[in-house]
Amino acid sequence: MIFAVLLFLAYKNHLDKYRWILWAVMLGMPAAWMATESGWIVAEVGRQPWVIQDLMPTMVAVSNINTASVQITFALFFIVFTALLIAEIKIMLKQIKLGPNQGGH
């Protein structure tokens, strides 16, 4: 809902009149990270009791993935997300240098 209001105010060019929405968005940034981590924790915790309660044998719960596949996947994720971080930082620094009046519409 906040982003719908933000989009509407940006479209009407009234963001500078409603500073509270800017603060709400800034303070809400960690929510995406918290949602991702919470989802991962729920998925992992929800999976484990089946093995503990002997409803599924431990051998069935173990993945049959070799170590090299896991290492390659981790390396690829690291490279992609590092590249995205660098691109994001460059974009933000460029916009900061342009200032509020030249960067947007």
Under a CB-based contact definition with an 8 Å cutoff, are residues 15 and 27 in contact?
A: no
What does the pLDDT look like over 80-91, one tens digit per residue? 999 999 999 999
What does the pLDDT look like over 67-77, one tens digit per residue? 999 999 999 99
Percent of the chain residues topping a pLDDT of 90: 31
H/E stretch holding 82: helix 67-102
Domain borders along the chain are 1-56, 63-105
Under a CB-based contact definition with an 8 Å cutoff, are residues 56 and 64 in contact?
A: no
What does the pLDDT look like over 42-69, one tens digit per residue? 887 776 666 666 677 777 777 888 999 9
